[in-house]
Amino acid sequence: MSIGHPLDAGVAPAARLTPLTARTCHHGVMASSAGADPGDSLPAGLRTPLDGFMAHVRDERGCSPHTVRAYRGDVTDLLEFCSMRGVTDVSGITLAQLRAWLALQSAHGRARSTIARRAASARAFTAWCFRRGLTSTDAGDRLASPQVSRTLPTVLDAAEATALMDHAAVAADDGSPEAVRDRAVVELLYATGIRVSELCAIDVDDLVPERRTVRVRGKGDKERTVPYGVPAADAIRDWQQVRPALSQGRGGAALFVGVRGGRIDPRTVRSAVHRLAAEAGVPDLAPHGLRHTAATHVLEGGADLRTVQELLGHATLATTQRYTHVSVERLRATFALAHPRAAVDADVTSA
């Protein structure tokens, strides 16, 4: 069973209710004090499997730190809920308890996307326990998730994308290192469709300028090589010329650095994209919107879904289909060119 984690569905603000100084479980029970591991108060029969599952997620599956934190928070909350109801070992977890835990999330006003994510975490954990022989049955095998409406991110049309890139270039004309960097950031995001986390992790040595490709590390620490065009290459070259002024020897191997010289962080990238979009007069969007825009434009330019899947680093084609939308006109045109009965159907329709 795959343990893919639907983090992209979003995490409701309510999922982070209180600071660690006085962490309250999502089912309303005080779990830990400052500096303590949230799972420390669990019985050994629950805590040991939790630690083993987290090692599996982190070391065997190679999940990102963000995903690992989400799994740990979700599963810890589930186990605390079960512990409060007398469960001392994972073998005592039942489907009824899993459903009661999710029902309580709903009663507390958690977003459907949050509940869906927690259900996925619970299923991954119980499946892992079953595979390891810790339980005789998989309690989460029949645990359903609420249907979540997937809101597509903002996508720029070709003219809007050009306007955004042109504005970033004009803003960089003053030679400000930050402006030159931000131009290279948006050009590379749009040219490659990479994730913001992947962009921040790029090292200088990951670039192959003569081939105009960049090596990126995606989810699960999987590497792929992504091509980029001449505009992005020009922007990156200009940025590398002024990079020392911003890094001041503290940037290490990082391609993009922040104002303090260290590796750039996703928050800085998001802020730059939002600001440049507003200044360019195009619809507001985040870096993920540029990823979606790139995928859509490549698809509409004639690329097939498998190519876009490889470009974006998606594990399954189903994920790519969610990130890309094709106009009805293009679908009709493809059908007319590819289907042997298309011409006959057109003749019948026009008769």
Same domain as 167, residue 106: no
Residue 85 has pLDDT above 70, yes or no: yes
The region that residue 252 occupies, defined by phi over 0 for left and psi between -120 and 50 for alpha, beta otherwise, is left
Both tokens of residue 155? 């996508």
- The overall average pLDDT reported for the chain is 81
Write down the catalytic residue from 26, 117, 195, 297: 195
Do 123 and 190 fall into the same domain? no
Tokens of 117: 């994510």
The answer to whether residues 168 and 310 belong to one domain is yes
Which range of residues forms the domain containing residue 100?
A: 7-131
Question: Is 72 annotated in the active site?
Answer: no
Clarify whether residues 125 and 168 are in a common domain: no
Choose the final residue of a domain: 131, 146, 179: 131
Of 159-163, 269-273, 313-317, 318-322, least confident by mean pLDDT is: 318-322
Q: pLDDT for 115-160, tens place per residue? A: 988 998 999 999 999 999 999 999 999 998 877 666 666 789 889 9
Q: Is 292 a catalytic residue?
A: no
Catalytic option among 71, 190, 228, 323: 323
Same domain, 115 and 189: no
Annotated catalytic residue, options 56, 219, 263, 297 = 219
Residue 195 lies in a domain: yes
Question: 113, 131, 149 — which closes off a domain?
Answer: 131
Please give the pLDDT value at position 38.
59
Residue 351 lies in a domain: no
Query: Which listed residue (110, 291, 292, 297) is catalytic?
Result: 291
Does the annotation mark 339 as catalytic? no
Is 314 in the active site? Answer: yes
118 and 206 together in one domain: no
Active site residue 260: no
Same-domain status, 238 and 188: yes
In a domain, 211, yes or no: yes
Domain identity same for 177 and 306: yes
pLDDT of residue 280: 93
Confidence of residue 335 (pLDDT cuts 50, 70, 90): low
Whole-model pTM?
A: 0.61
325 in catalytic set: no
Element (H, E) at 24: strand 22-24
Q: Give yes or no: residues 98 and 17 share one domain.
A: yes
Say which of 58, 99, 112, 288 is annotated catalytic: 288
Total domains, the chain: 2
CA distances from 299 to 161, 194, 236, 296 (A): 15, 15, 25, 5
Boundary-marking domain end, from 81, 116, 131: 131
The percentage of the chain sitting over the pLDDT mark of 90, rounded to a whole number, equals 52
